[in-house]
Amino acid sequence: MTGTTLSEVSTVDVVEAPPAMQESVRTRVLRHRVTLLVAPALVFLAVRQLGMLVLVLMADNAHKSVTSVLTSWDGHWFLGIAESGYNNVDPKLVDAFGRRTAETPLAFFPGYPALVRWVDGLPGVDVTGAAFTVSLVSGVFCAYGLYRLGRAIRGGSEKTGLILVALFAASPMAIVLSMAYAEATFCAFAAWALVGVVERRWILAGVCCAAAGLVRPTAAALILAVGLAAVAAVIERRGDWRAWLGGIVAPVGMVGYLGWVAARTGRLDGWFALQERGWDSRFDGGAATWKFALIHLGNPRSVLELATVWFLAGAIVLLIVGIRRRVEWPLMVYAFGVLMMDIGSNGLMNSKARLLVPAFTLLVPIALALAKRRTSTTITVLGMVAVFSAWFGAYAITGWQYAI
Per-residue H/E/C for 158-221: HHHHHHHHHHHHCCCCHHHHHCCCCHHHHHHHHHHHHHHHHCCCHHHHHHHHHHHCCCCCCHHH
**How far is it, in rounded angstroms, from Cα 391 to Cα 138?**
23
pLDDT for the residue numbered 2: 42
User: Please, which residues bridge with residue 283 across strands?
Assistant: 345
Which is more confident, 358 or 349?
358
- Confidence category of residue 129, pLDDT binned at 50, 70, 90: very high
pLDDT for the residue numbered 305: 93
Q: Please give the average per-residue pLDDT across 325-343, as a whole number.
A: 97
pLDDT for the residue numbered 36: 77
Q: Please give the average per-residue pLDDT across 288-298, as a whole number.
A: 92
Which is more confident, 302 or 23?
302
Per residue in 68-96, is it b (16+ CB within 10 Å) or e — as a string? ebbbbbbbebbbbbbbeebeebeeeeebe
Reduced to 3 DSSP states, what percent helix, strand and coil does the chain have, rounded to the nearest 5?
A: 75, 0, 25
Phi, psi of 345 (to 5 degrees): -95, 145
pLDDT at 60 over 80: yes
pLDDT at 71 over 60: yes
pLDDT in tens, 208-255: 999 999 999 999 999 999 999 999 999 988 778 899 999 999 999 999
* Alpha helix stretches (DSSP H) within 250-363: 252-265, 270-279, 287-298, 303-324, 329-343
pLDDT at 288 over 90: yes
Q: Please give the average per-residue pLDDT across 184-198, as a whole number.
A: 98
Which is more confident, 96 or 221?
221
**How far is it, in rounded angstroms, from Cα 200 to Cα 206?**
11
- Determine the number of helices (DSSP H) and then strands (DSSP E) in the chain: 18, 0
**How far is it, in rounded angstroms, from Cα 194 to Cα 378?**
25
pLDDT at 290 over 50: yes
In this structure, of 17-26, 27-36, 51-60, 333-342, the range with the lowest mean pLDDT score is 17-26
